[in-house]
Amino acid sequence: MGKDWRSWFDDTIFRRGQQYYRQNRVKELKKTAGGYQAFVVGTSLYTVRLALDDDTVLAASCNCPYALDGGRCKHQVAVLLKYEEVCKDEIAQMQEESELKKVNLDLRDKWVRQDLEDDYSYIDLQEIEKKLLPKERDKQEALLLLEKGLVVYDHMAAATRSLMDESSIQVFGYAKENPEDRGEKGVGFRVSQEDIFGFSCGCPSCSSSMNYYWGQKPCKHTKALFYAAYQALKNQRLMDATDDRTIRLFKNFQNVKARSVAASIVGSFSGTLSLVPKIKSTHTGLELSFRVGATKLYVVKNLSEFYRNVTNGTTQTFGKSTTLPLARENFDKTSQEYIDYIGDTISRIEDGYKISMADDFLDRSFGYFSPDQIKQFIPLLGRGLDDFFDKFNSRGFDYEDMVYGKTVIHFKEKNPKFDMTIIPKFIGKGKSRKFSGVRADITLPRLYYGASYRYFVDGVNLYRIPKETADKMQPLLEGRVTDFVHMEIGRNYLSDFYHTILPELATFTNIREKDRDLIYEYLSNDVEFTFYLDADMGNITCKAVAKYGDNQYNVIDCDGLTVDTAGTLGVERIFSKENEALGIVKRFLPFINEDRDLFHCNKDEDLIYEFVTNGVAELAKLGDIQATDSFQHVNIFRETKLSVGVSLSKGMLDLEVSSDDISRDELLEILASYRAKKKFHRLRDNSYVNLNDEALATLDDMLVTLQISEKDFLKDNMHVPVYRTLYLDKLLEENDGIYEDRDDHFKELVKGFKTVKDAEFKAPESLSKIMRNYQKTGFKWISTLEKYGLGGILCDDMGLGKTLQTISFLYKHYMDANASEDLPSLVVCPASLVYNWVDEFSKFAPEMKVVAVAGTVSEREEIIVNANQYQVLITSYDLLKRDVALYEEHEFYYEIIDEAQYIKNHTTAAAKAVKVITSRRRLALTGTPIENRLSELWSIFDFLMPGFLYKYEQFRRQFETPIVKYEDKNASERLKKMVAPFLLRRLKENVLKELPEKLEKQQTVVMEAEQQTLYDAQVQHLKVMIEQAKKDKSFNEAKMKILAEMTRLRQICCDPSLYVENYKGESAKRQACLDLVERAIEAGHRILIFSQFTTMLDLLKKDLKKSHINYFEITGSTKKEDRIDLVNRFNEGENNVFLISLKAGGTGLNLIGADMVIHYDPWWNLAAQNQATDRAHRIGQKKTVTVYKLITKGTIEEKIVELQNTKSDLAEEILSGETNIISKMTEADFLELLG
């Protein structure tokens, strides 16, 4: 085939391909071995490959159905056109680059100089230059900035790093936008041996782009700085090929020598070192320096180095030849305190430096600098100044400034008194000369700013200004550029100034007035306010009067005026005070009657309530209150006094609610106002009730939760189910404002649940010796539930012996000498656990008549028909669904469901089957009552006590939607309060102190190129699907299809051959898993491997066989009878590996023979993973259990782990369990998963 590839296609196909090309459907065209490859977005995501010989196209292929059948397709045309476009662009770029390269050579040689072949540089500067400046145009722009002097290199420093970071250097410089710019902005970057990153630039053009500002992209200034710093980087000594361990070795040797030298010096050193501070005031602020010595003092020229030497206990030379041993213990106590301050300051500056580096941002105008730059002086400002004052305010310090020279100052706190002069001002001359106002001048000292305080120096003291005074000074300081404050006050504002501002200034100034008597002739009296209040026809009015001696004015005159226009009021009135009164009146009475010059509330009851409760008190702070009889008769506000009587009779609670002075029907009206979130309610006698009342909140909660209708509430007695007893008790207990009367039966039931541990129920003697204390408490809890006819969920952590606690209760019930129960009990569990239950009964209660309802239909029917011949029947959820009709004629004493999450969906046949069984009592066992949704909890309680959590629609409206969708804490707390008495949950860490530790580790693996290519293509395909669904507004309908495609992503992470037939490449995770297993077996460990994909287990079996490693396996196809046998053989020591599918073996199995768990792939549901882990980490385990999670780097697996960790708090709030998050995921969540 030749170059003229267009001849390969007919006109129709070419036009279609041309249209695809113009629509930009070709994605990620990139070179491959022997050609190019690209993806084309069509009805699916298709891969097109081009075979080339130099620039000649030899062949094109596509994986679309049309091309696979031998045809030439439009996808090939689109990619070929894109390839032509790329070739043309490359030719043009090559020509341009060639021209620029000639121009750049001379400039580059000037700044960089030619790199010789034998030049050594640890940093690969040539490789970094290729990455940073791949185009000649970029090089030219950077070099020209250096020519113009717009970018300058300053210095470099070793970058702070964590243990996992590669060594790097921080490079600092300065940049300007234009030669005329006065100020320079910081510019910088970091370099490692082979990379450049962490760019920062403070120039305005860069700051406007977050990509440049926060170091995401190199700007022209950082590129220029690279050339400016090129020679310095080549010759740097901060970093080389010496590894960290060897560096530490050098330091250790040096320290040993230094300590040896120090020891010899210390041996001859018998004195005590002193550290003497000195404070100096410079044009930039206060600076702190130190001198050190024994008899003679030497200036410490580098405080960072000094502190390191003190910390390491080494020596340092001062002057020409004086060596001092700087061990901390050689200093006097006062000096040690100064050393601590130096260390704290360096740490604080270092923390700020680390923050700036973490953000990849450095700009000196923001005050960031490296701790290594702390040389002779520590700047005393901000928190450092406050701390220094607090720690050393009882001492004197050497001090120097331009005013007082050299002296000693002490620290004191003092209200300052600055000089203020007021002199009169005049206009005109001679006889026409008239008083126009005053001029006020204040001279302030130089102020120094701490983080929380202001300071000034006055003679021999550094004074801290109290905060209250500093706040009053603040208006004077704003915008001040000198120490001199000048004010001119005209006659219109003279009284205002004297009566409002001057009293504030007087607290920190000494006021001297010239011609005081003259000034005071023009001052008005200070204002006095009187507020006249009235009530008329349901409205409240107020007339606000300002009195100046004998003159009176209406404050309403100030409405609409500002400081600029207040002069219209006249010279007598003080606008600022009248305006303050106006604001307070209008806050409560915002309406104005212009005819009567009154403020009023326009009969708004909310405003009336607010004014009477708060407004009157606010006005009373400003002046006198004059109220008419009508206003004084506005009815008082009162609280609702409630009493609740409760008694227990005939299996029901009798409830009576009453109030001494409010009828029940009016109580309902009050509740309606409360539910409408009003602040008050107006009673029929026109008095007001304050609705911010805990008693009303409790009453509302009670009626809603107990489902008491308005009709029932009006009755003398209300009847509610006995299972509401504990909730009602908790509610009344939390509110002291409600009088309560409880009868003895009610109190007895409550006491029984509150003191379960002390209950008189005793576990069977034969089991008591092997039961742990918490298991005996569980036995007593079940017995208490049984006594009062209630159901409950035993939801202990996996592995805590829920089965044993249940068996002990049934054993006691049936085998006790006083037992007289004739009805059998029914246990329903997953099929895989039926025989496990049978084994547990034979182990702990061999005397009991127990039977597994198993076998053929006729065999099961015979067992069920003769149910009364047994004490316990055990069946599976699956068989119960089939046999449910056979159970209709039978009544059971207890129905117990194990792994109760099996009925989490209340619409399934399993859930319906367990709920139709007739039994006197019910109990549920599960380690995770909530796996995915709150509706699961409802379904279990609907089995235990139908109606307890209402009908599902009501439960969803009151609890599920508010909690899940709106994160309503009140609804969550109310639900928790309701269900808590009927949940018994203990965690291993709380009750099994002797249980070995569980170590969880995440092992990250990285895909090889071929696996990565497959993954990237699937990601692109999924993104197209999601965007299309979003565009078509069909996301919810497409969600399951998207999830199916995401499953393929996860399969590629596990092993691409799960998805792609005949895949021959590597699987990073599969190899990592095998390596981990082999190392673990060599170290004597025994391993459980869980995966959701049974096909993945098949691949692992091949690897294990190839490595001659014996294993067991449980999947959904493993017979139930065989599972127990496999588990027992493994626990007895046979084989070292157990392969288990997550769903088939994640629950009910006891595999304490293993001490290592590998989760091959993460599941959305964290609870399922936790359950699987606890097959090994449970009672009986003697070894530490190590849990490995194999996660593929940069893939959906990492995102799943993030979602598990951040979105699994729903169940934790309700009962400390776990939850799933798929149902709540949005389009954005799915795209986030794809990265």
Statement to judge: residues 308 and 348 lie in one domain: yes
If asked whether residues 370 and 451 sit together in one domain, one would say: no
Whether 259 shows a pLDDT value over 60: the answer reads no
Any domain includes 1197:
yes
What string of DSSP letters covers 12-45? Answer: HHHHHHHHHHHTT-EEEEEEETTEEEEEEESSSE
Question: Two tokens at 690?
Answer: 């304050």
* pLDDT band at residue 163 under the 50/70/90 scheme: very low
Q: Does residue 805 sit in the same domain as residue 897?
A: yes
Whether 575 is in a domain gets the answer yes
Residue 829, beta-bridge partner list: 876
pLDDT tops 90 at residue 561: no
Higher pLDDT, 1231 or 1140: 1140
3-class state of residue 913 by DSSP: helix
pLDDT at position 103: 59
Torsion angle, CA of 105/108/114/117, rounded to 10 degrees? -90
Distance CA 1148, CA 26 (A): 52
856 plus 835 within the same structural domain: yes
Contact 938, 807 (CB under 8 A): no
Task: Answer yes or no: is 371 within a domain.
Answer: yes
For residue 99, the model assigns a pLDDT of 66
Which amino acid, one-letter code, is at 934?
Answer: L
CATH number at residue 1150: 3.40.50.300
pLDDT band at residue 960 under the 50/70/90 scheme: confident
Question: What is d(CA 984, CA 929) in angstroms, rounded to the nearest whole number?
Answer: 11
What is the reported pLDDT for 1079?
Answer: 77
- The answer to whether residue 875 is domain-embedded is yes
Residue 976 and residue 1013 share a domain: no
The mean per-residue pLDDT over the stretch 411-416 comes to 89
Looking at residues 400-415, what average pLDDT do you find?
89
Start-to-end CA span in the chain (Å): 41
Q: Give the amino acid at 774.
A: Y
The domain boundary residue, chosen from 549, 583, 606? 606
What are the tens digits of pLDDT across the range 481-528?
Answer: 667 888 898 888 888 888 888 888 888 889 999 988 888 888 888 889
Across the chain, mean pLDDT equals 83
Residue 721: the pLDDT is: 81
Rounded Cα–Cα distance for residues 617 and 755 (Å)? 50
pLDDT of residue 1: 38
Residue 359 lies in a domain: yes
The confidence band for 214, taking pLDDT boundaries of 50, 70 and 90, is very low
Answer left, alpha or beta for residue 62, where phi above 0 means left and psi between -120 and 50 means alpha: beta
Distance CA 126, CA 100 (A): 18
> Does position 359 have pLDDT exceeding 60, yes or no?
no
In this structure, the answer to whether residues 955 and 806 fall within a common structural domain is yes
With vertex at residue 545, the alpha carbon angle to CA 541 and CA 546, rounded to the nearest 5 degrees, is 155
Q: State which H helix or E strand residue 226 sits in.
A: helix 220-228
The pLDDT score that the predictor gives to residue 1089 is 95
Q: How many residues does the chain have?
A: 1235
Average pLDDT over residues 323-341: 90
656 CB-near residues (< 8 Å, 6+ apart): 644, 645, 646, 716, 717, 718
Provide the domain limits for residue 65. 5-93
- Say how far apart CA 638 and CA 609 lie, in whole Å: 12
3-state secondary structure 1155-1223: CEEEECCCCCCHHHHHHHHCCCCCCCCCCCEEEEEEEECCCHHHHHHHHHHHCCCHHHHHHCCCCCCHH
Structural domains of the chain, count: 8
Q: Per residue in 261-285, pLDDT tens?
A: 555 544 555 678 999 999 999 888 8
**Are residue 187 and residue 67 in the same domain, yes or no?**
no
pLDDT in tens, 753-804: 777 777 778 889 889 889 989 999 999 999 989 988 899 999 987 768 899 9
Digit-coded pLDDT (tens) for 447-473: 888 888 999 998 889 999 998 888 888
Q: Are residues 161 and 196 in the same domain?
A: yes
pLDDT greater at residue 116 or residue 828: 828
Residue 569 CA to residue 555 CA, distance in Å, equals: 11
Q: At residue 760, what are phi and psi to the nearest 5 degrees?
A: -80, -5
Helical H segments across 1001-1034, by residue range:
1009-1031
The pLDDT of residue 1202 is 77
Can you give the pLDDT at residue 1087?
94
| Eight-class DSSP state of 6 | G
Structure token pair of residue 524: 């008005």
| 642 inside domain | yes
Same domain, 554 and 658: no
pLDDT for 851 equals 96
Q: Please report the pLDDT score of residue 147 as a whole number.
A: 86
If you search the block for the tokens 């067992």, which residue do you land on? 863
Residue 808 has pLDDT above 70, yes or no: yes
Q: Which whole-number Å values give the CA distances from 1235 to 328, 384, 1115, 1160, in the listed order?
A: 53, 44, 33, 21
At residue 638, the pLDDT reads 63
% of residues, the chain, pLDDT over 90: 30
Asked which of 501, 521, 541 is the last residue of a domain, the reply is 521
Q: Residue 609 above 80 pLDDT?
A: yes
Pick the residue with more confidence: 878 or 493? 878
Of 23-37, 231-245, 299-313, minimum mean pLDDT range: 231-245
Alpha-carbon distance of 440 to 1086, in angstroms, equals 89
Give the domain-ending residue among 380, 406, 431. 380
CA-nearest of 294, 286, 249 to 270 is 294
* Same domain flag for 948 and 832: yes
Per-residue DSSP letter, 1006: -
Q: What CA–CA distance (Å, rounded) separates 73 from 949?
A: 61
Give 532-543 pLDDT, tens digit per residue.
999 988 899 999
Q: 746 and 761, same structural domain?
A: no
d(CA 950, CA 965): 20
Among 165-174, 541-550, 617-626, 971-980, the range scoring the smallest mean pLDDT is: 165-174
Q: Report if residue 742 sits inside a domain.
A: yes
Residue 571 forms part of a structural domain: yes
Confidence at residue 1207, expressed as pLDDT on a 0 to 100 scale = 47
Q: Would you give the DSSP letter of residue 965? A: I
Same domain assignment for residues 152 and 281? no
pLDDT at 1223 over 70: no
* 798's tokens: 């996996």
- Contact between 380 and 290 (Cβ < 8 Å): no
Distance CA 519, CA 438 (A): 8
CATH number of the structural domain spanning residue 772: 3.40.50.10810
DSSP run (H or E) holding 1230: helix 1227-1234
